[in-house]
């Protein structure tokens, strides 16, 4: 019994350590970019702007948000969702609809912050849009998950795969729905409102503040994920992931428990979608494709399914490689060796290679969940141990 | 041992269950009375597991009914059946391999809200199986088969069952461990839990049973007091390898 509390205590201190680390990294990046960088010499500035540009760091936060959302579905409950991008897109369009001049025939303002001269359209307060974005994707989570989760889990993969294809296609072609322009087609919806947080206005290009905002959202998601995992619902998800039938025999209501995982994941995707739209100042249909779903899934798998900090690391590493790493490292290699290889164009080759290597040498992910590590590493010595145990009991 | 004169706890009447076109259980009727150990024996494919799956809500009957404490329970979802007081230790143990022994036991009490009573139940289970206390923080999947079986039974007990359903608890265990498991089953019964036991190990199952049912290809072939069936030469020939 005392061992249990010691283990729990270590987990808590570990989490605290990680949390302190997260806050200090975010604070350092913010202070550096907001106050210090302009005073440093141009070489240092150039280094930061090319290797750790603030906009890509902010984008990393969005990926963390997304990956943690998907982690609740895939990592916690073990349901395979292949169309998570749909929630990202839906959340983004909620932001496009509710805080921009897009619906120009209307004029509605609810604590919003419309730009001068663009008072037409719908303008909600950003916090309300975040909540509504979550609600909207929750509804879609109910529509998709409700019927599908009654079936075997393989069907969820297929249905979500379709969902992830249909939603972006709808957005891409939604410029004329019975005469109404709903999504503005391939051009997307731009010119989102500036953010007004209790009198403090964050402009479209105020990157340090926007970075801080998405970091706070991602931090909240990390906290929420840990609390969920350690709670009663989290245990029920793990039980379903390990053995559905046994979980049902313990009294875990299967459908309701899976459904809650899928809906919470959906809400997280919606909130992340809104945050991303705010970050880039608009929402564009061609950004949402199947590859995005797969990248988020890779982040969850590579980071260590079910482990919150592992997924954070997975999302950070993969999205950094994607947005900066390939270009910068590629340039470095080209300049050093005088080659002319276009590294970013090999993005998926490198991605695929990384995935294969990980599955060969470190199946449990960068930072595996403790229970995964135990089982995956114990597989070899297991048989001998079992035999000796059996004889031990028998001789008792 | 003979049938007890207590009220009926579980009553299966004329139950027919099937998978698609195949009928696995044909018109089975059986009774479990309060405080009894009732064994259901039969060879592979006799319909034992299908009957249990229907009792625990994983399958719906084609016809017939199942009543628990006078209430109809066929066709209601599994977790509600657990809430009514039927807990099962499933065939093949099905413990959660990546969780610790402690976490497994915790899940057994998933539907119980009363923390103090759960703690007490945990203590009782650990007294029943001291082996589990030694391994309390070990991943369940790394334990031996016998220990996993103890855990499966202990986990079912954590739900505070009125009726404990044990599906093949001796499967794949060494003879010494089989004896241990059957002794424990009697201890559990003495603590006031009614037991429905399904077994291929017919002799042991008949010896501890107050009453037993013998199934063959989905039909009820024989029923009677456990000890009487154990001495029946016909049974011995068919199921006891004698």
Tell me the pLDDT of chain B (242 aa) as tens digits. Answer: 678 888 999 999 999 999 888 899 999 999 999 999 999 998 888 888 899 989 988 889 999 999 999 999 988 888 999 999 999 999 888 999 988 999 999 999 999 888 898 999 999 999 999 999 999 999 999 999 889 999 999 999 999 999 999 999 988 888 888 999 999 999 999 999 999 999 888 888 898 999 999 998 888 888 888 888 888 887 777 776 54
Query: Nearest CA to CA, how far is A251 from chain B (Å)?
Result: 4
Mutate to test the interface with A, among B53, B59, B78, B167 (most CBs of A within 10 A): B78
Give contacts of A 372-391 with B, CB under 8 A. Answer: 372, 374-375, 378, 382, 385-386, 389-390
Task: Clarify whether residues A9 and A84 are in a common domain.
Answer: no
A337 in any annotated domain? no
Among A294, A309, A324, residue at a domain's last position: A309
CB under 8 Å to B195, separation ≥6 — which residues? Answer: B36, B37, B38, B163, B164, B165, B166, B185, B188, B189
Interior angle at CA A335, CA A329 and CA A339, nearest 5 = 95
A94 and A133 part of one domain: yes
Q: Which of A309, A332, A359 is the last residue of a domain?
A: A309
Is B141's CB within 8 Å of A375's CB?
yes
A224 and A142 in a single domain? The answer is: yes
Question: How many domains, in total, are found in chain A?
Answer: 2
Q: Report how far residue B232's alpha carbon sits from residue B59's, in angstroms, rounded to the nearest whole number.
A: 33
Region for A103 from its dihedrals, namely left if φ exceeds 0, alpha if ψ lies in -120 to 50, beta otherwise: beta
Residues A235 and A278 in one domain: yes
Contacts of B146 in chain A (CB under 8 A): 390, 393
The pLDDT value given to residue B164? 94
Last residue of a domain, one of A259, A278, A309: A309
| Candidate from A211-215, A257-261, A358-362, B56-60 with smallest mean pLDDT | A358-362
Query: Which DSSP string do the residues of A287-352 spell out, in sequence order?
Result: G--HHHHHHHHHHHHHH-TT-HHHHHHHHHHHHHIIIIIHHHHHHHHHHHHT----GGGGHHHHHH
Q: Between the CA of residue A191 and those of A200, A219, A269, what are the distances in Å?
A: 19, 27, 22
Per the prediction, chain A carries an average pLDDT of 83
Residues of B in contact with A394 (CB under 8 A): 174, 176-177
What are the φ/ψ torsions at residue B167 (nearest 5 degrees)? -105, 110
Which of B78, B97, B176 is the closest to A394 by Cβ?
A: B176
Choose, out of A250, A260, A368, A377, the residue to mutate when testing the contact with B (most B CBs < 10 Å): A250
Q: What is the pLDDT of residue A8?
A: 59
Q: Is residue A35 part of a domain?
A: yes
| Smallest Cα distance from B232 to chain A, Å | 31
**Helix H segments across A205-289?**
207-230, 232-242, 244-249, 254-280
Buried b (16+ CB within 10 A) or exposed e, A140-152: bbeebbeebbeee
Q: What pLDDT does residue A9 have?
A: 62
Residue at A288 is within a domain: yes
- Structural domain contains residue A356: no
- CB crowding A274-312: b at 16 or more within 10 Å, else e: bbbbbbbbbbbbebbbeebbbbbbbbbbbbbbbbbbbbb
Query: What is the chain B residue with the closest CA to A242?
Result: B96
Let me know whether A38 and A156 are in one domain: no
**B92 contact A CB<8A:** no
Range of the domain at A178: 59-309
Closest to B28 (Cα-Cα) out of B191, B223, B169: B223
Q: How far away is chain B from the Cα of A309, in angstroms, using its nearest Cα? A: 19
Quote the radius of gyration of chain B (alpha carbons, Å).
Answer: 17
Closest residue to B99, CB basis, from A238, A254, A386: A238
Contact B137 A249 (CB under 8 A): no
Query: Out of A248, A375, A394, whose CB is closest to B139?
Result: A375
Interface contact flag, B82 A390, Cβ < 8 Å: no
d(CA A52, CA B211): 75
Give CA–CA dist A352/A302, Å, rounded.
Answer: 12
Residue A116 sits in the same domain as residue A213: yes
Q: E strand or H helix at A99, and its extent? A: strand A99-100
Q: Coil, strand, or helix at residue B40?
A: strand
Least confident of A88-92, A195-199, A279-283, A299-303: A195-199
Q: Does any domain span residue A349?
A: no
> Does A379 map to a domain?
no
Q: Is the pLDDT of residue A303 over 60?
A: yes
Please report, to the nearest 10 degrees, the dihedral formed by the alpha carbons of residues A103, A108, A110, A112 taken in order: 50
Q: How many CB pairs under 8 A join A and B?
A: 107
Task: State whether A138 and A183 are in the same domain.
Answer: yes
Cβ(A188)–Cβ(A282) below 8 Å:
yes
Position A380 scores a pLDDT of: 42
Chain B residue closest to A373 (CA)? B98
Same domain, A81 and A141: yes
- From CA A51, how far away is CA A326, in angstroms rounded? 11
Q: Check CB contact of B72 with chain A, cutoff 8 Å.
A: no
* Token pair in block for residue B41: 């024996």
The per-residue pLDDT for range A307-336, each reduced to its tens digit, is 888 899 889 988 998 888 888 888 888 888
Residues 3-32 of A with CB under 8 A from B: 3-4, 7
Q: How confident is the model at residue A392 (pLDDT cuts 50, 70, 90)?
A: very low
In this structure, are residues A130 and A271 in contact, taking their beta carbons and an 8 Å threshold?
A: yes
Q: Which is nearest to B88 in space by CA: B115, B117, B69, B108?
A: B108
Residues 6+ apart with CB under 8 A from A243: B94, B96
Q: How confident is the model at residue A196 (pLDDT cuts 50, 70, 90)?
A: confident
Whether A47 and A84 share a structural domain = no
CB distance A242–B78 less than 8 Å? no
Residue B194 bridge partners (DSSP): B163
Of B208 and A16, the structure prediction assigns the larger pLDDT to B208
**pLDDT (tens digit per residue) in A35-85:** 887 778 888 888 888 888 888 899 999 999 999 999 999 999 989 999 999
Look up residue B141 and give its two tokens.
Answer: 């999947």
In a domain, A201, yes or no: yes
Query: Is A393 in Cβ contact with B144 (below 8 Å)?
Result: yes
Distance, CA of B198 to CA of B177 (rounded, Å): 17
Place of tokens 């929750």: A138
Structure-token pair, residue A181? 């322009």
Q: B144–A386: do the CB atoms touch at under 8 Å?
A: yes
Please check whether residues A47 and A143 belong to one and the same domain.
Answer: no
The predicted model scores a pTM of 0.85
β-bridge mates for residue B16, sequence order? B63
H helices of B101-213, where? 101-108, 115-128, 130-134, 145-157, 175-190, 202-208
CB proximity A2 to B under 8 Å: no
Per the model's pLDDT, the better-predicted residue between A239 and A188 turns out to be A239
ipTM: 0.88
**C-beta separation of A224 from A15 below 8 A:** no
Nearest CB partner across the interface for B97, out of A1, A375, A393: A375
A196 and A258 assigned to the same domain: yes
Q: Judge whether A270 lies within some domain.
A: yes
pLDDT digits (tens, 9 = 90+) for A149-195: 888 778 889 999 999 999 999 988 888 778 788 888 888 888 888 88
Q: Are residues A12 and A127 in the same domain?
A: no
């Amino acid at each position: 019994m005392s061992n249990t509390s010691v283990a729990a205590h270590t987990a808590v201190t570990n989490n605290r350590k990680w949390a302190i680390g997260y806050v200090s990294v975010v604070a350092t990046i913010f202070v550096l970019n907001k106050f210090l960088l302009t005073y440093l010499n141009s070489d240092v500035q150039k280094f930061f702007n090319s290797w750790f540009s603030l906009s890509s760091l902010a984008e990393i936060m969005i990926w963390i948000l997304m990956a943690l959302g998907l982690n609740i579905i895939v990592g916690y409950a073990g349901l395979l969702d292949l169309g998570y991008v749909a929630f990202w897109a839906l959340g983004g369009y909620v932001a496009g609809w509710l805080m921009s001049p897009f619906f120009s025939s209307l004029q509605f303002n609810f604590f919003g912050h419309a730009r001068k001269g663009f008072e037409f359209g719908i303008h909600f307060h950003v916090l309300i849009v975040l909540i509504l974005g979550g609600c909207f994707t929750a509804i879609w989570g109910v529509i998709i998950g409700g019927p599908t989760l009654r079936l075997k889990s393989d069907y969820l993969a297929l249905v979500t795969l379709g969902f992830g294809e249909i939603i972006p296609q709808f957005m891409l072609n939604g410029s004329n729905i019975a005469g109404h322009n709903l999504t503005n087609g391939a051009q997307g919806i731009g010119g989102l409102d500036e953010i007004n947080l209790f009198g403090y206005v964050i402009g479209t290009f105020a990157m340090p503040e926007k970075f801080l905002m998405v970091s706070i959202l991602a931090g909240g998601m990390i906290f929420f994920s840990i609390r969920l995992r350690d709670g009663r619902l989290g245990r029920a998800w793990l039980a379903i992931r390990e053995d559905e039938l046994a979980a049902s025999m313990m009294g875990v209501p299967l459908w309701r428990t899976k459904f809650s995982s899928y809906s919470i994941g959906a809400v997280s995707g919606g909130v992340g979608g809104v945050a991303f739209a705010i970050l880039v100042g608009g929402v564009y249909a061609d950004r949402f494709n199947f590859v995005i779903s797969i990248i988020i899934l890779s982040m969850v798998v590579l980071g260590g399914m079910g482990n919150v900090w592992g997924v954070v690391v997975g999302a950070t590493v993969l999205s950094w490689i994607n947005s900066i790493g390939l270009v910068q490292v590629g340039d470095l290699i080209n300049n050093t060796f005088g080659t002319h290889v276009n590294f970013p164009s090999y993005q998926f080759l490198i991605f695929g290679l990384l995935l294969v290597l990980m599955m060969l040498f470190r199946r449990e992910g960068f930072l595996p969940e403790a229970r995964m590590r135990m089982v995956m590493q114990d597989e070899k010595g297991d048989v001998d141990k079992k035999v000796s145990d059996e004889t031990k009991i028998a001789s008792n | 041992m003979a049938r007890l004169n207590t009220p009926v706890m579980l009553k299966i009447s004329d139950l027919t269950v099937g998978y698609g076109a195949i009928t696995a259980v044909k018109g089975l009727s059986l009774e479990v009375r309060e405080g009894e150990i009732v064994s259901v024996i039969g060879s592979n494919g006799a319909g034992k597991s299908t009957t249990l799956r229907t009792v625990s809500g994983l399958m719906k009957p084609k016809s017939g009914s199942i009543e628990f404490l006078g209430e109809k329970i066929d066709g209601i979802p599994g977790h509600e059946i657990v809430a009514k007081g039927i807990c099962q230790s499933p065939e093949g143990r099905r413990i959660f391999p990546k969780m610790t022994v402690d976490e497994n036991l915790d899940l057994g009490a998933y539907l119980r809200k009363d923390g103090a009573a759960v703690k007490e139940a945990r203590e009782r289970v650990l007294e029943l199986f001291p082996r589990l206390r030694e391994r309390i923080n070990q991943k369940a999947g790394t334990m031996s088969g016998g220990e996993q079986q103890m855990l499966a039974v202990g986990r079912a007990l954590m739900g505070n069952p009125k009726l404990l359903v044990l599906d093949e608890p001796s499967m794949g265990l060494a003879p010494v461990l089989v004896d241990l498991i059957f002794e424990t089953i009697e201890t559990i019964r003495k603590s006031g839990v009614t037991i429905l036991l399904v077994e291929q190990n017919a002799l042991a199952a008949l010896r501890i049973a107050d009453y037993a049912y013998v199934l063959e290809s989905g039909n009820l072939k024989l029923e009677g007091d456990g000890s009487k069936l154990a001495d029946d030469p016909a049974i011995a020939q068919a199921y006891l390898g004698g």
